[in-house]
Each structure stands twice: as C-alpha cells, then as structure tokens.
Amino acid sequence: MNRFSVGLHSGINFASLQGKLKQGKWESNSGAINGLYFEYALSDHFDLHTGLIHESLYLTHKDYSYSNGRDEPGPGPWHLFNPDVLYPSSYNSNRHWNFNMYRIPLQIQFHTQTRLRFELAAGTSFGFLVQAVAPHNSCPIYYNEQNIIRANEDASFPEHDWGYYYSAGIDYPVDKQWTIGVAGNYYSGSREFLEHTASRLESLAFMLNVEYSGIHDDGIKTYHSRDSLKSKWFITYKTGMLLSNHRGNQFQNSYSPRIGLSGGIAFYYHLDESFSLQAELLYQRKGYHLEDSSRYPYRMATSPDIPVQFDNDTRVDLDYFTLPVLLNVRFGQNEVFFMNGGFYYSFNFNARATGTQYETHITSNTYQRKKLRIYDHMEGYIKDGDWGWVLGAGLRLPVWGSADLELELRYDQSFTDNYQNLGDREYMREDRAFFNEGLQLMVGIHVPIY
Amino acid sequence: MTRAIVLFFLLAVLGGCEGHDPHVRLLERYSFSDAGARQRTYAGEEFPDSAGIQIYALRAGGTAKPLRVEYEVTKGGGSVNPRVVMVQDANLALTRWTGGQASTLQEMRARVYDSDGELLSSRQLRGLAFSEARWDSCIYPPERGMIDMAWSPIHDTTLLVSGQGLFIQGNRYFDWLPHPDPEFKDTRNIEVDTRGNFYIGDNDGSIHKSTDGGATWQAISKPIPGFQGVFDFTVTRNDHLWMTTYYHSIRCSRDGGTSWSVDTAGLAKDERIGDIYSLSDGTIVMMSLNSNVYQSMDDGHTWQPLDLPGKPFGLFVTPDDEIVVFALAITPGNNGYAVYKAQTPGGEYQKTAHIPSEFGARSLIHVYSHEGLYYVGIPGAGVYTTTAFEDFEIFKRLPRLFELFMSGEGLLIGTHTQHKKAYYKKIARNR
C-alpha cells in the first residue's frame, strides 16, 4: 500500500461570485490554476489531501450597455431630440477584476478501490492574495473604447481568504507507481471580497493531474473485485434532463416549465436483499420561464405606481448542488425495478435571468420604447438553501459485466419558498412564494465498488 | 462509457453559462411639449396664436411614421378647429382655439396616436379667458405670486412686481410683458410719486428710479450702505421716500432718493413702517408694524405717539385728510376689524363699522379710490366698497384674500393667501 503520494495538477478555472448579486452579468473568464499536492492514505478508502495551488481568477461585470440607434438610418425629416440622455448614443460599462492567489487546501478524500478510481473530497482551503487588479469604484462609461467617465480607483481587498473546497475526479494507474487523472474542484469562499455586492469568491476548476506513489510502497497493490453478488456498496454515475417549474405563486399562469440538466453520482449501501440507503451528489439546473407584463424580468410584479409597461420573455436558471438521502427498495425478477423516496437539501450557487424585456414608458411628455436584452445575476434574490422531498422509480438492466444501465424517473418538490424577503412594498411582496418543483429523467451506470 | 458520461456532464455544465450581454436599445422616443399654451384671450374670442403640441422623435432605424393628433376642449366651453391634425414633415401640430365663457381656465386635451392607432400621449393644454362680467381666477404668473403693483396716471402705465420680476401692463388689461432688463428679476416693491416717477426696491437693498414710465431705470441709492436684503418701502403724497427693515429704523429721502436721513426721534425701538401718509398741512401720520401710530409735525424728523382705540392693523388717510383706522377686533364668533374714523390724527375716533375676517394681517389692508368709490381689500374677508368709511358693502367675498391691488383703470388684482392664484376683476373698461 502506498501511504504517501505526490502529484502535480494543472488546468483552468472559472471564477464567479457568491453574494447579493442582483443586476448585470458576471462573466466567468478562464484563468490558470497550477499546483502540487500530497496525499496520505488514512485507510483503504480515505486519504488526507493537501497541497499548494496558484490560481488566477478573472471576473468581468457587464452592466447594461446602451444604444439609441443614432448610427442607423435616422428618423426621417423630424428633429432629433434626446434631452435626458446624459451619455453618448452608445456606451458600455464593463468592469474587470483579477485576483492572483495561493491556496492551501486540506481535505478528506474518499476513493474507490477500483482500477478506474473515483475520488470525492471535501475540506477547507486557505488563500493568500498575491495581487489584485480592480476597476474604478463607480461604473465607468466607455464610448468608442475610451473611458469617458471614471471615478477614483480606491479599492481594497482582504489579504487572506478561506472557504470550503470540494473535489471530484477519476484516476487511472498507468503503471505501478504513476497515475493520471482528471478532477473538478469547486471552491466557495467565506470572506467578503467585493463590498458593493457583498459577495465572496468562488471558482470552478478543471484539472489534469499526474501522481507518483512510489515514495513509501509496502509492495501490496490490490484492486477489489467487483462481485455484485457480494458487494454492499454501489455507485451510479448519472445524468439526465430535468423539467422544472415553480408552484404556489400568485400569477401561476405567467410561468411555464423549462428543461434543464441534472447529473452526478449516487452511492448505495445495501441494507438487505431489498432495501438500501442511497445518498447522492447532484448538479441540477432548475428554473422557469416567465412570459408576462412584469416590472421584473425574473418574477411577476405589477407596476401600478410607475407609468411604465413591461413585456417579458425571460428564462430563470437556478443552479443547485443537491444532496438527496433516500431509502431505495428493489423488487422484481433480478431486482430489475426499484423505487426510492426521501429528502434533499440543495445549495444554490448560481441564479440568473436571461431573455428579452420590452419597456414602454408613457407620460404626458414622453413615449419611449426600449428593448432590453436581459442578463441579470440574481443570487441576491434567491435563498442559498432549499430542501424538500423526493420520490422516484426506475429500472436497472445489466449491460456490461457487473455494470447495470439505470433508468429513473423522479419527482421532487421543495418545502419552503425560494425568494429572499425583498421588502415590504406591494411590488416587492407580490408573487414571492416560489417553490421548486422538478421532474427528472436520468440515465446512469450502476457499478459495485466494495 | 463512464468517461463519456462525465465529459457530457462537464460540457453541459459549461455550456449555457455564458450567452448574450445585457444591453438596452432605445427603439423609439417621442417627446411632447406644449406650443401656444397659457395664452390669454377675452372670453368668446380666439386665442391670438395657434395652439397645439410640439413633437420630437427619435427612432432606431426606419422612417418617421405620420402621427395623428386629436384635440378636444374639456373645460371652459370653448371650441377648437381643426380637431384632427396629421403630423408628418413638421414637428408642430397646431390648431385654432377659441376661449369659452364658462370659466377663466380653458382646457383642451391633445391625444397623439401613431400610424397603428396606438395612443402615445394624452396631454392637456391650458389657456385663460377673461371676462369683465365676472371675477376671474388667474393661476399663472406673474399675477400668481405678485408682490406689488403701481400705476402712474401721468404715463398711464401700470407696473407689476412678482416673484418672476418686473412686468409692464400690455394693451389688454390681462397682458403683462416682462421687463427686458434681467436686473429686475429680483425686485420687491414698486411705488410711484405724484410726478409719475416709478421707484423699485430690490432684494439687494437698492432703489431704482424710472422717469419714463418704466422703460428705463437708474439705480439711485442704497439707503443703508452695505445692507443687502429686502426692505419696507413707500412714497407719500409729498414725494418723500420712506424705508425700514429689520434692525434698521426709519429712513427718509426728501430729494427723490438722492440722500437719506435717519429720523427716529420719538419712535419706540425697532419701529418699521406699516402705513404712512402725508396730510395737506404737512403732517405725517404713520402706523408701525408694531401697531403703534405716530404723527410728525416737522416733516418726519421727530415723532409723537398717538393714542388710538383698539389695536391698529391698518391706516388710511382720505384726500380730505380724514383718518381711518382698522383695528383688530377679537370677538368670539365675530373676529374682524373695527373701523374708526377721525377728522384729525389726534382727534376723536368714532367707530363706524365692523368687518368680519378669517384672520388678521397687519398693514395689508389696502384702500383704492375709483370713480367716487373706495375699494377696500380686507385680508381674510374680501373686497368691500364704501363712500365715506361709514357704511361698507361687500363687493366680493374672498376668504383667502391676502392683498388687494388696483390699477388706475379699475383693475383689481387680489393675491391668494397661499399664492395658488390671483383674483381678477376689471371694474370699468376705459380703453
């Protein structure tokens, strides 16, 4: 058994923010991530994982750029008049941040004893800010690629950061001491980095790794056989489509379901010949489609207090990491069929509204129509957590050795509404009681692991 | 197989994370403003100029589409012709509007539709129609917000001072033309002497004089050197100029404003001029803003207090040198002014009348003589008429009346306690 392992990993990351984001697009530009890591085997299945990582995080915030069409054929013989536009006929207000950091992760890692080894790790990470480049404090306005409105460059950031660090990946041994693999890492920071959005750093990284385990080798190398008859532990790699909607709102007819993606892994522990405990880690994209006259592009709210009419056709994406815990029962010949039920807890890490909004502003002095291409991050409106119940059923068909093809149809529904308390005004209270609802059709590969 | 699933999963997560950028595009904008609004006319007559709306358009591409403007008279009983105006090549949609008899305020609604029939705007145009047969209400400057008015019989000119500056009466009694000199945007008082000279006191502590009926002006003096602010200012029949202000007691100019003397002997401390008159024999009688009444037998150099009945809130001297005092009378259920009359300043005062009023206002009771009748503006009561200050007749009850002004041609203009409007009445048409 190799107690110590050392490896190098390298890849790209996509930085983003977690916090009270409410407007505009936070674009995740790719940055480099490199480092080395050390693993110490605590047991056959668990390692202590640490290392040193350098990563560059790039963030861009794109607020609503503006154009009034002056560059197009004019309005005929009429006088051009644009009295209340302080800015030029078109501008953008993009802002860029760049953070260079060293991180020291400390994780407990679980891995299978299969040749193609699946790894799952969770822990914390401590970061040291090396360099930060910040934009101006207030929105700069660019016209013809020149910054025509700027403010001071006063910005300060914490020197240190820490947060939760999760990893998942697969490794494959190329000889007795060398292993290669791919991994995905998700970091969720706990320090507030951008004050104006009260937001914390997060990043999603994809890395290739090369690992050497010949430092201390006791000469015993074992891969456990995958005898499904004797196995108690199983894993399913699954993915599928998710039809989601929101229920319980005041203007239900304004919303319609939308299709998203769902996928992840499921662990099974067989309690007896019929029942097993099932725990999963899933990525789920939920959300809904809004098509109505609402002052907000992401939920229905009337606007009797302002002389503006809205016409929305938008889509709301809510990205969750979901942890269902279920009781699974197998039945039928060769245990082909199964049903499961239980509860889930979801962590929202991304929320945004995209689409089109037409805005018509009518007063006795003005008639104005605008077309807005909506792209708003809206994590500031959505609760971080969601929990509810799950009920599903499916079948498993043997396809390849001890691996089964798994098909499952599952329904889930949240217990609590998803929106934050936005305020007491009428249009803030309207239609705020949203409950997630989803129907998933998933396909997966079910294999024994121990 | 497993690798394919993981790869598919990763691509699916990354896919759709980006997309278009947030963007606002202005598709079209129309701005509407009034053209020819706030005009004035005689009731039943057409407004002098065409009225309508002005349209400015901005469209993202394409060509301008014709707009349809529909007009409808909604208040005042007037008429409009044409009712529908199409706008294509010009940005003005004008029509002719005739004022009605029903009210001073005339209103006309303009509705703007695009070529698809969609209502773009609905706005209201207003005008004023005056009639000598009624009391009119004027809701627009300069009458709304007027501060003072003076008439020169020699030049047959009436000048008006309002929060918007100095105005000269036009050919019609309700036309007021702003004085072109921007210096007079900040005026406060206007007075006229017996030779037809106008005097203006501004908010900067200076006095300006015009000898040509208000056409040209000269800054003649600053009665209190270094003082900047508003002041009380009046001219008596003997053409003496009088001024006071906070912490600066009475100053008098006996040479048309060239020089000033401080004449406070016999006066209580911090007395300011309320009402002041010169009598035929040279006696000067003055009511202060502290409700004290004084007389001066030496052209205003020294003063002797007079003991009058009640608490004087207004003082008037008739051309026959009769003294009329309006004293505040607080009587439960019948508050107002008691009117006293005497033949000389120090003589015996006889109570002649009681005029009920909503509130008391010191030195704001103004008396005007026109064609043998006195018109008395009582704050909080209205306009009364009298011939000898013994019997009063209500001419118009105006509980919100603050101050009353009159031009020599018999035009009464009263101000509102909250400056919401001006009361307008032409007594006789002399032109």
What residues have CB less than 8 Å from A391, skipping those under 6 apart? A339, A340, A341, A410, A411, A412
Complex prediction ipTM:
0.81
Query: Could you tell me if A363 and A307 are in contact, meaning their C-beta atoms sit under 8 angstroms apart?
Result: yes
In our burial notation (b when 16+ CB lie closer than 10 A, e otherwise), range A338-364 reads bebbbebebebbbbbbbbebebbebeb
Torsion of CA A159, A163, A166, A171, to 10 degrees: 30
pLDDT at residue number A222 = 54
Q: Which chain A residues in 182-241 lie under 8 Å from chain B, judged by CB atoms?
A: 182, 184, 206, 237-239
Query: Could you tell me if A448 and A234 are in contact, meaning their C-beta atoms sit under 8 angstroms apart?
Result: yes
User: pLDDT, tens digit, for every residue of B341-368?
Assistant: 999 999 999 999 999 999 999 999 999 9
Query: Could you tell me if B169 and B407 are in contact, meaning their C-beta atoms sit under 8 angstroms apart?
Result: yes
User: pLDDT, tens digit, for every residue of B207-229?
Assistant: 999 999 999 999 998 999 999 99
How large is the average pLDDT for residues B183-200?
A: 92
Among candidates B143, B239, B246, which has minimal Cα distance to B191?
B239
Name which of A102-106, A373-377, B89-93, B350-354 the model is least confident about. B89-93
Q: Which chain A residues in 65-94 lie under 8 Å from chain B, judged by CB atoms?
A: 65-70, 72-83
Helix (H, G, I), strand (E, B) or coil at A381: coil
Closest-CA residue of chain B to A70: B60
The length of chain A in residues reads 450
Task: Please report which confidence band the pLDDT of residue B247 belongs to, taking 50, 70 and 90 as the band edges.
Answer: confident
Query: Could you tell me if A53 and A103 are in contact, meaning their C-beta atoms sit under 8 angstroms apart?
Result: yes
Q: Which chain A residues in 353-382 lie under 8 Å from chain B, judged by CB atoms?
A: 354, 362-376
Name which of A419-433, B128-142, B191-205 the model is least confident about. A419-433
Residue A73, pLDDT above cutoff 60? no
How large is the average pLDDT for residues B174-200?
A: 92
Query: Could you tell me if B305 and B292 are in contact, meaning their C-beta atoms sit under 8 angstroms apart?
Result: yes
Which residue is listed with tokens 């207000």? A93
B117 touches chain A (CB under 8 A): no
Which residue is listed with tokens 């249009």? A427
Task: Tell me whether residues B27 and A373 touch, CB distance under 8 A.
Answer: no
Helix (H, G, I), strand (E, B) or coil at A79: coil
pLDDT at residue number B340 = 97
What residues have CB less than 8 Å from A97, skipping those under 6 apart? A57, A58, A59, A60, A61, A132, A133, A134, A135, A194
Strand order in the sheet with B366-370: B366-370, B373-378, B382-386, B392-397
Task: Tell me whether residues B61 and A69 touch, CB distance under 8 A.
Answer: yes
Strand-pair partners of B276: B286
Q: Which chain A residues in 123-162 lie under 8 Å from chain B, judged by CB atoms?
A: none
CA B61-B67-B73 angle, to 5 degrees, is 150
Kind of pairing between the strands at A385-400 and A403-414: antiparallel
Chain A residues closer than 8 Å to B31 by CB: 81, 83, 365-366
Name which of A197-201, B319-323, B415-419 the model is least confident about. A197-201
How large is the average pLDDT for residues B11-29?
A: 69
Residue A444, pLDDT above cutoff 90? yes
Name which of A63-67, A205-209, A320-324, B423-427 the model is least confident about. A63-67
User: pLDDT, tens digit, for every residue of B75-112?
Assistant: 999 999 999 999 866 688 999 999 999 999 999 999 99
What residues have CB less than 8 Å from A384, skipping those under 6 apart? A347, A348
> Which of A66, A82, A239 has the CB atom closest to B58's CB atom?
A82
pLDDT at residue number A216 = 64
Chain B residues closer than 8 Å to A263 by CB: 5, 9, 12
Between CA B332 and CA B349 the distance in angstroms is 24
Between CA B397 and CA B413 the distance in angstroms is 14
Between CA A52 and CA B404 the distance in angstroms is 89
Closest-CA residue of chain A to B90: A78
pLDDT at residue number A155 = 64
How large is the average pLDDT for residues A33-51?
A: 94
For A206, B41, B142, B367, the CA distances from B48, given in Å and listed in that order, are: 79, 7, 19, 35
Between CA A146 and CA A139 the distance in angstroms is 14
Which residue is listed with tokens 């007795």? A176
Task: Please report which confidence band the pLDDT of residue B238 belongs to, taking 50, 70 and 90 as the band edges.
Answer: very high
Q: Which chain B residues in 13-42 lie under 8 Å from chain A, judged by CB atoms?
A: 13-14, 16-33
Token pair, residue A258, equals 């939308």
Question: Omega of the bond prior to B319 within 30 degrees of 0, cis?
Answer: no
Residue A223, pLDDT above cutoff 50? yes
Mean pLDDT rounded to a whole number for chain A: 85
Best mutation target among A12, A78, A319 (most B Cβ atoms within 10 Å) is: A78
As its CATH architecture, domain B25-130 has: Sandwich (2.60)
Kind plus residue range of the DSSP H or E element containing A429: helix A426-429
Residue A102, pLDDT above cutoff 50? yes
Task: Tell me whether residues B29 and A82 touch, CB distance under 8 A.
Answer: yes
Chain B residues closer than 8 Å to A80 by CB: 56, 58
pLDDT at residue number B62 = 55
pLDDT at residue number B126 = 97
Among candidates A170, A163, A438, A121, which has minimal Cα distance to A281?
A121
User: pLDDT, tens digit, for every residue of B257-302?
Assistant: 999 999 889 999 889 999 999 999 999 999 999 999 999 999 999 9
Which residue is listed with tokens 């309508």? B52
CA A29-A31-A33 angle, to 5 degrees, is 150
Closest-CA residue of chain A to B33: A365
How large is the average pLDDT for residues A186-214?
A: 90
pLDDT at residue number B276 = 97
How large is the average pLDDT for residues A325-335?
A: 92
Helix (H, G, I), strand (E, B) or coil at A428: helix
Please write down the long-range contacts of B315-323, taking CB distance under 8 Å and 24 or more positions apart: B315/B274, B315/B275, B315/B277, B315/B285, B315/B286, B315/B287, B316/B275, B316/B277, B316/B365, B316/B367, B316/B389, B317/B277, B317/B279, B317/B285, B318/B389, B319/B369, B321/B279, B321/B280, B321/B281, B322/B389, B323/B285, B323/B347, B323/B349
Phi, psi angle pair for A427, to nearest 5°: -75, -15
Question: How many other β-carbons are positioned within 10 Å of the β-carbon of residue A60?
Answer: 18
Q: How far is B79 from chain A (nearest CA, A)?
A: 22
CA B431-B174-B314 angle, to 5 degrees, is 95
Between CA B303 and CA A45 the distance in angstroms is 113
Task: Tell me whether residues A368 and B30 touch, CB distance under 8 A.
Answer: yes
Task: Please report which confidence band the pLDDT of residue A92 belongs to, taking 50, 70 and 90 as the band edges.
Answer: confident
Q: How far is B127 from chain A (nearest CA, A)?
A: 17
CATH class entry, domain B136-426: mainly beta
pLDDT at residue number A52 = 97
Q: Where along chain B do the CATH 2.60.40.2410 domains lie? A: 25-130
pLDDT at residue number A221 = 54
State the SS3 of chain B.
CHHHHHHHHHHHHHCCCCCCCCEEEEEEEEEEEEECCCCEEECCCECCCCEEEEEEEEECCCCCCCEEEEEEEEECCCEEECCEEEECCCCEEEEEEECCCCCCEEEEEEEEECCCCCEEEEEEEEEEEECCCCCEEECCCCCCCEEEEEEECCCCEEEEEECCEEEEECCCCCCEEECCCHHHHHEEEEEECCCCCEEEEECCCCEEEECCCCCCCEEEECCCCCCCCCCEEEECCCCCEEEEECCEEEEEECCCCCCCEECCECCCCCCCEEEEEECCCCCEEEEECCCCEEEECCCCCECEEECCCCEEEEEEECCCCCEEEEEEECCCCCCEEEEEEECCCCCCCEEEEEEECCCCCCCCCEEEEECCEEEEEECCCEEEEECCCCCEEEEEECCCEEEEEECCCCEEEEEECCCCCEEEEECCCCC
Query: Could you tell me if B392 and B378 are in contact, meaning their C-beta atoms sit under 8 angstroms apart?
Result: no
Token pair, residue A445, equals 């590969």
Among candidates A202, A172, A173, A198, which has minimal Cα distance to A185?
A202
Name which of A194-208, A420-434, B113-127, B162-176 the model is least confident about. A420-434
Closest-CA residue of chain A to B1: A445
Gyration radius (Cα) of chain A, Å? 26
Phi, psi angle pair for B183, to nearest 5°: -65, -25
User: pLDDT, tens digit, for every residue of B308-318?
Assistant: 999 999 999 99
Q: Where along chain B do the CATH 2.130.10.10 domains lie? A: 136-426
Chain B residues closer than 8 Å to A373 by CB: 20-25
Q: Read off the DSSP letter of residue A400.
A: E
Closest-CA residue of chain B to A15: B17
Token pair, residue B428, equals 């006789």
Higher pLDDT, B342 or A132: B342
Phi, psi angle pair for A56, to nearest 5°: -110, 125
